[in-house]
Structure 1
């Protein structure tokens, strides 16, 4: 089984093109059916009979209507990740915040304007349905007069023409982790055991992969110094047959000393591995196409981190990558051999292929909890011809680490917007959020209070905003203000958290070790100026906080309130979000949007 994509043909979408100026319409039917993406059959979510779902492909400025038909036996919603939903917050897809859920047999129409450009994605925002395959890619082609950074890659006219054509037919690569049981079962195990249970069965690329069960010797050769120390601390000597830290070892880092019921964790979660042949995504590129220049062919990809838990290293053997956009916006290109991809991340890049052959696409988990990886194939050859197999340079191993010192990873610290995107030099409001566990190893919080995603709120915040901040679960801001969010990992040890904000991009303006002991960034800059960048900081809709391995850490982001409405702020690790690591930000409460009657009445 394989997926075929060529330079001259864009990934198939279901846009229903109407007359000029009419909305681009898409129809998504969500079902619950048995499939075996890694060779093991289980129930999963399909969108129009497939996972990932079909591409939503539009042009910047288009009005977009997405009709969501729920044909599953339970409620659902769909969130359009990274789409800012300017003036249409009722289409953001978050139950209890912007809408009521879509009940079985019901239909919801999400209407929004593609005011941005670049690569995005859509996914479930009900319980853990993202982990069941409910996601798909979005491509918004930029306006013709938008400035591009490709002149920083080459000044050759033929090369620039080939690059332009490649980007017009960009190929999404959806990277995901996969369990052999559904998200409800995963939640049941986590609740019963009182800890996260992040031991996965496969890593997929565009919904295809297999189950690998490697020899103990291979796992031992891939252990990092950190993993060796964690095993030692837990009186263990080896990872499990799935490459996971044993559950007693994992509990030391994930349960923070709180009681764990190990008997509630089925044996096959950690200690059983049955290999499969699975399936493989093959991306075919032919020589002699529209994306050729005088030396080879250009191919554009958009990597989407559709992970439920993992952060992974990504690379393509033998092909350095020009990363030219991050989270949908142009940057000054970086030429790298590997990229660290977290939950919700999007990286757009170009490769230049000169030698015919099959190139292995790799992603490998880099969190210490498990050694696991997945692959796909990029096939480049003359039309209708076979080629002699070649071994292209492998940049990363199955644990996601560089194989040689000269392998260069994408560096977010050096990320610069193209054109520059200035940030305010001072914030009007500062909110300090202390992250960590609460009463059990499964419950998490952004600010001392867990907000589990029960999906039971009948009245979304959009319909009835809170007049003031509500305990530790709601933040209120004024339109036009600049806001600093300081995420502090006070509980140690604590992993990095991929924090995503709906409705806005943010600037990463600073980070550091130790407690954040200042009332504001302005005060902190006076003491630790080198910890901040207010000149050209990275701008994204999601950031990884710093790992708190031996002591507290902090991460500071700044954003501009220009999009009034209720926007979810949350960790994108699914078990953390479901365990309460989220808040609602009532942005621009003084300019609150008026919800159309049909959305107010939906589901009432």
Structure 2
């Protein structure tokens, strides 16, 4: 669009903003009982030198800090988030897991729901908090999530919302303590961190024609350290899969940073592509330089008025690449909500957390102590772990401190057979919704690399970079033609049920954390081998034991089944109830940037009318 029209759109939003009183949010508005009108937040995005793990680099800050302020909201609130882009790069902000019911133009995906916010411009996102629970917001432009542009969202449930806590205990005192904790959850954003900004990562990726799969540190709420392990500690953390990769390249060890060497990524994982690992600086894969940005401490204090003490923590997987195991030494935790929805609680000692996941946990505390919060990578690309601290003190200052012991090791594996992991397969929603016995459409999506190792396809074809990277005219502004389908577009009708089957076209294939914007999906089936049926309906008739249509897990993101020795497939079903343009994509940043996405035009027969201020922006 022309500069005049775009400036008019900016003026309209800025003029509206002058009539709004925004919370300068280090945490937003806290007085939920008395606050009236929309929940309003003002976020200024800047590009500055900062040192989350003690190593200074240029990165994105939000209101001068990292991570960004937590947006605290009540279920049912109208929400207004005004961003000011003072970075030298175009940007957008996506509210991850927020369904954006009837407001798809505020989903924050360039080329799909909006035009990019240029340097010096502002943009107003407006939506209704129809949900409750743990969510997060992050950049959906280039690799800016890897540059720190993210923060937590906490949506407090309505008082009428049923809770799962009676499944944990029937004791009144215990339930009172649990409810106190659940009313004030502590967000814990878990992230991986590089010492080079995303524009440089992209430049090196294209020069070397291979993925840069090595990170420098793990962060907890923006704090972490680079810990250089001894050769013995690195060797102890090597997995069987890593050992096989190393042997295939006639190598015996990971790099001093704990990464698979670049030659392994180039020659084996890139599967014969013409790569140039020599163009990558040694600092990216090989050189470990210790540094410290401090340690995150979740402090919990018991008062004399509290007979029991519990703490609620909202885990957010804000990773660009890694999948980790999470655990708190010596403490079992109750997982009571997943991706913002209550489930029948599971008592576990470890949780696998990947990109975009949210797990709400309750931790019972009895003995004073400093309990290490531990995460460790389980992806073969590198061995890395990190810790934060859950510090619990009772009203007795002389109470002896507990001596915690870990449940997991540096490889993210259980230290013994007694450790229980959270089970996605066993996840049961507290208030399950009915699922249709059949679907109107079934889409097989073949996942593969298409060229270089960093060029990925969710359905055999790369999603055009011109749409979500360069920011073409957004799909939401154009009423689509019904029934148009291709490898990068899915079109549906309103109030229909849709199946998608994610099929590993190549072996080996890592798990892919697939995220759907706009609404949640049910994980209804998985299997090994070729998916030979014409639809999920046919597959259910042929192999009913592989499917669950009664009480399957419901989430906005699922990891596909890994294909180590044979092809695999993962089937999800969703109900079209939120018409608009949405993105379906792998949440690994390099895979998304490499084209691993599909546009979904949901409900083309009830296509939304976009407000003028968003059309003209």
Instruction: Report the TM-score range of the alignment, normalised by the length of the smaller protein.
Output: over 0.9
- SS of 1:269's partner is helix
* Distance in 2 between residues matched to 1:416 and 1:494, nearest whole Å: 28
* Distance in 1 between residues matched to 2:198 and 2:396, nearest whole Å: 43
**Equivalent residue number for residue 309 of structure 1:** 321
Contact kept, 8 Å, 2:55 with 2:292, in 1: the verdict is no
**Equivalent residue number for residue 451 of structure 1:** 463
1:70-128 residue CA offsets vs partner (Å, 9 max, x unmatched): 11111111000000000000100000000011111111010000001111000000000
1:491-570 aligned at under 5 Å gives the runs 491-570=506-585
Per the TM alignment, residue 382 of structure 1 is displaced from its structure 2 partner at its CA by 3.2
* Distance in 2 between residues matched to 1:117 and 1:219, nearest whole Å: 41
* Distance in 2 between residues matched to 1:402 and 1:122, nearest whole Å: 31
**Equivalent residue number for residue 348 of structure 1:** 360
Q: Does residue 449 of structure 2 align to residue 434 of structure 1?
A: no
**Equivalent residue number for residue 4 of structure 1:** none
Per the TM alignment, residue 289 of structure 1 is displaced from its structure 2 partner at its CA by 6.9
1:552-591 aligned at under 5 Å gives the runs 552-591=567-606
* Distance in 1 between residues matched to 2:126 and 2:402, nearest whole Å: 48
Per the TM alignment, residue 184 of structure 1 is displaced from its structure 2 partner at its CA by 0.8
* Distance in 2 between residues matched to 1:333 and 1:576, nearest whole Å: 33
Q: Does residue 150 of structure 2 align to residue 138 of structure 1?
A: no
* Distance in 1 between residues matched to 2:456 and 2:236, nearest whole Å: 34
**Equivalent residue number for residue 386 of structure 2:** 374
- SS of 2:313's partner is strand
* Distance in 1 between residues matched to 2:391 and 2:465, nearest whole Å: 42
- SS of 1:546's partner is coil
Among candidates 124, 133, 137, match of residue 118 of structure 1: 133
Contact kept, 8 Å, 2:438 with 2:537, in 1: the verdict is yes
Among candidates 233, 243, 261, match of residue 258 of structure 2: 243
Q: Does residue 93 of structure 2 align to residue 73 of structure 1?
A: no
Q: How many residues align?
A: 589
**Equivalent residue number for residue 498 of structure 2:** 483
- SS of 1:487's partner is strand
Among candidates 26, 48, 52, match of residue 41 of structure 2: 26
Contact kept, 8 Å, 1:196 with 1:254, in 2: the verdict is no
- SS of 2:170's partner is coil
1:147-167 residue CA offsets vs partner (Å, 9 max, x unmatched): 111000011111111111111
Q: Does residue 416 of structure 2 align to residue 394 of structure 1?
A: no
- SS of 2:225's partner is coil
Contact kept, 8 Å, 2:266 with 2:276, in 1: the verdict is no
**Equivalent residue number for residue 22 of structure 2:** none
Unaligned runs of 5+ in 1: 1-10
1:406-448 residue CA offsets vs partner (Å, 9 max, x unmatched): 0000001100000222211110100111011112221100111
1:551-582 residue CA offsets vs partner (Å, 9 max, x unmatched): 21100000000000000000000000000001
**Equivalent residue number for residue 375 of structure 2:** 363
Unaligned runs of 5+ in 2: 1-24
Contact kept, 8 Å, 1:16 with 1:26, in 2: the verdict is no
- SS of 2:581's partner is strand
Among candidates 334, 339, 347, match of residue 335 of structure 1: 347
Per the TM alignment, residue 190 of structure 1 is displaced from its structure 2 partner at its CA by 1.1
Which moved further from structure 2: 84-93 or 435-444?
435-444
Contact kept, 8 Å, 2:135 with 2:154, in 1: the verdict is yes
Per the TM alignment, residue 250 of structure 1 is displaced from its structure 2 partner at its CA by 2.3
Distance change >3 Å, CA 20–CA 33, structure 1 → 2: closer
**Equivalent residue number for residue 52 of structure 1:** 67
Per the TM alignment, residue 387 of structure 1 is displaced from its structure 2 partner at its CA by 5.5
Q: Does residue 183 of structure 2 align to residue 171 of structure 1?
A: no
- SS of 1:210's partner is strand
* Distance in 1 between residues matched to 2:262 and 2:545, nearest whole Å: 40
* Distance in 2 between residues matched to 1:452 and 1:157, nearest whole Å: 56
Per the TM alignment, residue 223 of structure 1 is displaced from its structure 2 partner at its CA by 1.4
Per the TM alignment, residue 470 of structure 1 is displaced from its structure 2 partner at its CA by 5.3
- SS of 2:226's partner is coil
**Equivalent residue number for residue 14 of structure 1:** 28
**Equivalent residue number for residue 310 of structure 2:** 298
Contact kept, 8 Å, 2:329 with 2:371, in 1: the verdict is yes
**Equivalent residue number for residue 43 of structure 1:** 58
* Distance in 2 between residues matched to 1:548 and 1:161, nearest whole Å: 45
* Distance in 2 between residues matched to 1:559 and 1:269, nearest whole Å: 41
Contact kept, 8 Å, 1:119 with 1:140, in 2: the verdict is yes
